[in-house]
C-alpha cells in the first residue's frame, strides 16, 4: 500500500499549494534515469552486476605509481583543446529527436512576436528585417530555398545550433543536417511573413551578429 501511495499522482489543489506537478510516466522515467546516472558513480543501468562476475583479479605485486604533480593552471576557463576533447557542444544521437525541439520552436515564436512588437500584418517589412538581424534564430523553422549544391534544396527543419559557417538543422525525420551558410539562401517563416537569409552575407557566429552592423550592398548572387 505504501508503494501505491508513493506512485499516486498528486491532486491538483495540493500540487498548487506545494508548487509541484506530476509528470507523465515516460517523462518521469527519463528524469529518474538521468538522476540516477548523475548521482551514482559508474552507473551502468541494468547490467550493474555483470562486470563483477567477469572481473579478473591480478595477484602480482606492482608498485603503486607515483602520480606526477601537475601545475594547476591559474584560470578556471578551458582552452580550446580541452573543449574539443570534452565535446562540449555536440548533440548526442539519442537526443536528436524532432519532438524534443518542438517546445523550443514554440518558445521562439513567442520570442519573435515579442521582439517585433506584436508582429501585426501592418508592420513594415524593413522594420521586421532590422529586428530579425539582431534577433536570435535558434528554434526557428528554416528551409533551404536555393543553394549551389542542389541536394540541400528543400531541407526543412528547426534550427538547433548556429555556428560561424554552418547551420545545424533537425528535420522531421529525426536527422541533424549540417548545412553550410555560404552559397545558399534560407527562408524563414514567422507569423505570415517570409524572409530570406542570404547565407553568404551571414557568415558570423550567432553571438557576433548582435554587435555587428550590416552594410547594404547591391548585388547578391549565389
Partner 1 sequence: MAGQIKDKDAYQRLNYLYQAAHCVLSQNPDNVELARFYCSTQRTIARRLVLRQDPSVKRTVCKKCCSLLIPGVSATTRQRRKKGKIRFTVMRCLSCGHTKKLLNNPDYCLWADRPEAQLEQPPKLPETTNILSTQSFTCERAQPVDQCVLCPGKPRTVEGEAISQRGVDVS
Enumerate binding residues for partner 1 (CB under 8 A).
18-23, 30-31, 33-35, 37-38, 76-78, 86-92, 95, 100-101, 103-104, 106-108, 110-111, 114-115, 117, 131, 134-136, 138-139, 160-161, 205-208, 210-211
- Choice between 5 and 88, CB closer to partner 1: 88
- Choice between 95 and 148, CB closer to partner 1: 95
- Choice between 183 and 203, CB closer to partner 1: 203
Q: Please report how close the Cβ of residue 133 comes to partner 1 at its closest, in angstroms.
A: 9
Find out whether 158 and 140 touch, Cβ atoms under 8 Å.
Answer: yes
Element of type H or E holding 130: helix 125-134
Q: Please report how close the Cβ of residue 148 comes to partner 1 at its closest, in angstroms.
A: 28
- Choice between 112 and 185, CB closer to partner 1: 112
Instruction: Provide the 10 A C-beta neighbour count for residue 66.
Output: 6
CA distance 197 to 184: 9
CA distance 57 to 77: 40
By C-alpha distance, which of 190, 187, 188 is closest to 118? 190
Element of type H or E holding 52: helix 50-53
- Choice between 26 and 62, CB closer to partner 1: 26
Q: Please report how close the Cβ of residue 200 comes to partner 1 at its closest, in angstroms.
A: 22
Q: Please report how close the Cβ of residue 202 comes to partner 1 at its closest, in angstroms.
A: 15
Residue at grid coordinates 591559474: 74
Q: Please report how close the Cβ of residue 70 comes to partner 1 at its closest, in angstroms.
A: 15
Residue at grid coordinates 499522482: 9
CA distance 26 to 46: 17
Find out whether 139 and 170 touch, Cβ atoms under 8 Å.
Answer: no
Q: Please report how close the Cβ of residue 219 comes to partner 1 at its closest, in angstroms.
A: 28
- Choice between 132 and 185, CB closer to partner 1: 132
Grid cell in block for residue 6? 508513493
By C-alpha distance, which of 166, 178, 162, 168 is closest to 210? 162
- Choice between 145 and 188, CB closer to partner 1: 188
Q: Please report how close the Cβ of residue 12 comes to partner 1 at its closest, in angstroms.
A: 13
Amino acid at each position: 500500500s505504501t508503494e501505491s501511495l508513493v506512485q499516486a499522482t498528486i491532486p491538483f489543489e495540493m500540487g498548487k499549494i506545494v508548487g509541484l506537478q506530476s509528470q507523465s510516466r515516460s517523462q518521469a522515467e527519463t528524469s529518474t534515469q538521468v538522476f540516477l546516472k548523475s548521482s551514482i558513480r559508474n552507473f551502468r543501468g541494468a547490467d550493474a552486476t555483470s562486470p563483477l562476475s567477469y572481473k579478473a583479479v591480478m595477484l602480482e605485486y606492482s608498485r603503486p605509481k607515483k602520480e606526477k604533480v601537475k601545475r594547476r593552471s591559474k584560470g578556471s576557463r578551458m582552452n580550446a583543446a580541452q573543449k574539443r576533447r570534452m565535446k562540449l557542444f555536440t548533440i548526442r544521437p539519442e537526443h536528436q529527436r524532432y519532438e524534443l525541439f518542438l517546445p523550443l520552436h514554440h518558445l521562439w515564436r513567442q520570442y519573435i512576436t515579442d521582439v517585433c512588437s506584436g508582429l501585426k500584418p501592418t508592420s513594415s517589412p524593413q522594420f521586421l528585417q532590422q529586428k530579425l538581424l539582431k534577433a536570435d534564430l535558434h528554434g526557428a523553422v528554416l528551409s533551404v530555398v536555393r543553394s549551389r549544391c542542389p541536394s540541400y534544396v528543400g531541407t526543412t527543419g528547426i534550427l538547433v545550433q548556429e555556428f560561424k559557417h554552418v547551420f545545424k538543422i533537425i528535420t522531421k525525420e529525426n536527422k541533424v543536417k549540417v548545412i553550410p551558410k555560404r552559397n545558399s539562401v534560407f527562408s524563414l517563416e514567422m507569423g505570415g511573413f517570409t524572409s530570406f537569409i542570404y547565407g553568404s552575407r551571414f557568415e558570423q557566429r550567432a553571438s557576433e551578429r548582435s554587435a555587428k552592423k550590416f552594410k547594404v550592398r547591391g548585388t547578391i548572387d549565389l
